[in-house]
Chain A
């Protein structure tokens, strides 16, 4: 992107008068490129990429720093199954997560289409709802889920959720022939993160975002420190997840383990969750015949390979979903730690010249667009305030 184009875009973004004031003042303490504010984003995970895209789209001059490789992100975003499930998550989290999730789902619908048209490649966003099933002896788990959801949504939940008998269940998801009961959650979706993240990267390249891989940084107000020294910016956004653990109070890693299996014998059409009193499992089908199976949740900042026990639990639960999964091949195991705050809520901290976004926990794809939207707003206000 050339400077002139960026300036025009940014000019239309800020009220004209304000922009003039802003640029006048900014000459004193910050480095600007043809009057276009320069923003540093630290952390090339989902949050960092989305923000880099959204802000560069507004005409801001973006530099994205990533400690590892952008082609194979080291963060939880690469490990995740990419579910966007505001309803399922509401049962064990705050109502705010649900509201942000609903907003994200709406944004994904537009953003996925836009990213696909910009890149010419699919991101496989799907809003086909999701299914909850339980075996006969654990049927009360479904009622419990229903009850908790009704409690959290305080009222009528029939718009969100439909109870299915065996026939309805099979019609919706033929592979689930061993189940007598299920719940269909309408407002849920998922996105193929292994397609989305490379697509975002190529769109960032197209938009002229400056990409600095293998560059670990420390973030400060108006300043990013790296091996080669310090760089000045109009604002720094720290999205480093666990990489920012010393800067975010109470930030901890919550270990998650995932299996990826491949089979032609059984195919799901949408994310399915199996409810069990002790083991939780979700299975998210991909277009290439693979299914992502997850996920454990262990209170430990432990990146070591998947344990035998977790492998057994996940595969036993998967086998109980459909016996044909027994012959599926385990093509990949993934382990990562989710960055979480002590209240398991997303964290946005803002001070002049510095924003920190963190704590997306197990809700990366559920929350990132809605949070990106909030951050966009904060950045605009910050830049306006300088004026």
Chain B
């Protein structure tokens, strides 16, 4: 299936979004982005003294990738901080797309749901296309939709932990209860198999950074994630078989007397 990913009226072929931080070098970052096939990349202005445009060299380098830029508000702890950084990012990167982060806990970088909803409401009002990084709480997700977010990015696990999908039950609930909302699993993905798992569950896309950037060979790992996301999505579209208790051979066992086959069938 080559069904496209639709976010805020734009269509994308790739369902893998990647970050641009933590790579051994900008050159390896760009090569990895290419290998990942991503069309949307996140980047951060945080700590770069953006008023002075002193990180411009690198921003231009990232911009040259031709991808949709998704500036983030990484590290912001209050709505006010996040909104100010969002405005600055919009001006510098000339895009109203925004990955909204409002962090509530320093150690596991857990989103602050209250600050997040408040900031999202204001940013939507100001015309931003807000993609909020949120927890897997259904009610928080609903409130974010209520204030005007059209895409949600629930976490799989805390940022940078590589723990995968920690709460499958909550994530499954989100998917089932919000069937029409594009849901992107953001954060916590450490292995391609976990990305494939998220896609098999029917999530629309996966966003990650550390797992690729910190791999010993980031470019190769980017490719691995591209393949995993494609595989997971295809599997979801194709319709996964249900798990069964009893083995059923995929090749008919011709050498087995038919009454024995019947026996096993009756036991089903």
Beta-carbon contact of A300 and B49 below 8 Å? yes
| Residues A232-275 near B (CB distance < 8 A) | 250-253, 255
Tell me if B55 is interfacial: C-beta within 8 Å of chain A. yes
Beta-carbon contact of B55 and A299 below 8 Å? yes
Tell me if B26 is interfacial: C-beta within 8 Å of chain A. yes
| Residues B1-34 near A (CB distance < 8 A) | 24-28, 30
Tell me if A227 is interfacial: C-beta within 8 Å of chain B. no
| Residues B198-221 near A (CB distance < 8 A) | 216
Beta-carbon contact of B57 and A302 below 8 Å? no
Beta-carbon contact of A300 and B48 below 8 Å? yes
Q: Chain A: interface secondary structure?
A: loop
Across the interface, name the chain A residue whose C-beta is closest to B29: A342
In the complex, what residues of A have CB within 8 A of residue B47's CB? Answer: 298, 300, 307, 309
Given contacts A342-B27, A343-B25, are A148 and B58 in contact (CB under 8 A)? no
Tell me if B148 is interfacial: C-beta within 8 Å of chain A. no
Against A, the Cβ 8 Å flags (1 = close, 0 = not) of B44-55 are: 000111001011
In the complex, what residues of B have CB within 8 A of residue A307's CB? Answer: 47
In the complex, what residues of A have CB within 8 A of residue B56's CB? Answer: 301
Point out which of A252, A255, A278, A340 has the most chain B C-beta atoms below 10 A from its C-beta.
A252
Tell me if B104 is interfacial: C-beta within 8 Å of chain A. no
Against B, the Cβ 8 Å flags (1 = close, 0 = not) of A340-353 are: 10111100000000
Beta-carbon contact of A344 and B25 below 8 Å? yes
**Complex CA distance for A151 and B214, rounded to whole angstroms:** 13
Tell me if B114 is interfacial: C-beta within 8 Å of chain A. no
Q: Name A342's contact: one of B26, B54, B216 (CB within 8 Å).
A: B26
**Complex CA distance for A93 and B28, rounded to whole angstroms:** 11
Q: Name B57's contact: one of A92, A301, A343 (CB within 8 Å).
A: A301
Given contacts A151-B216, A343-B28, are A302 and B61 in contact (CB under 8 A)? no
Beta-carbon contact of A302 and B28 below 8 Å? no
Q: Name B27's contact: one of A300, A304, A343 (CB within 8 Å).
A: A343
| Residues B214-230 near A (CB distance < 8 A) | 216
Tell me if A155 is interfacial: C-beta within 8 Å of chain B. no
Beta-carbon contact of B160 and A277 below 8 Å? yes
Beta-carbon contact of B25 and A302 below 8 Å? no
| Residues A340-372 near B (CB distance < 8 A) | 340, 342-345
Beta-carbon contact of B24 and A344 below 8 Å? yes
**Complex CA distance for A296 and B190, rounded to whole angstroms:** 26
In the complex, what residues of B have CB within 8 A of residue A309's CB? Answer: 47
In the complex, what residues of A have CB within 8 A of residue B30's CB? Answer: 342
Tell me if A57 is interfacial: C-beta within 8 Å of chain B. no
In the complex, what residues of A have CB within 8 A of residue B28's CB? Answer: 343
Q: Name B61's contact: one of A93, A148, A151, A342 (CB within 8 Å).
A: A342
Closest Cβ of chain B to A340, distance in Å, is: 8
Beta-carbon contact of A250 and B25 below 8 Å? no
Tell me if A146 is interfacial: C-beta within 8 Å of chain B. no
Closest Cβ of chain B to A46, distance in Å, is: 21
Apart from A92-B24, A299-B55: 8 A-B pairs, beta carbons within 8 A: A252-B26, A298-B47, A300-B55, A301-B55, A302-B48, A302-B54, A342-B26, A343-B28
The 7 lowest CB-CB distance pairs between A and B, nearest first, are A344-B25, A343-B27, A300-B48, A252-B57, A302-B54, A301-B54, A300-B55
Interface residues of chain A, those whose CB is within 8 Å of chain B, are 92-94, 148, 151-152, 250-253, 255, 277-278, 298-302, 304, 307, 309, 340, 342-345
Q: Can you list 17 A-B contacts (CB < 8 A)?
A: A93-B24, A94-B24, A148-B216, A252-B57, A253-B57, A278-B160, A298-B47, A299-B55, A300-B49, A300-B55, A302-B52, A302-B54, A307-B47, A309-B47, A342-B27, A343-B26, A345-B25
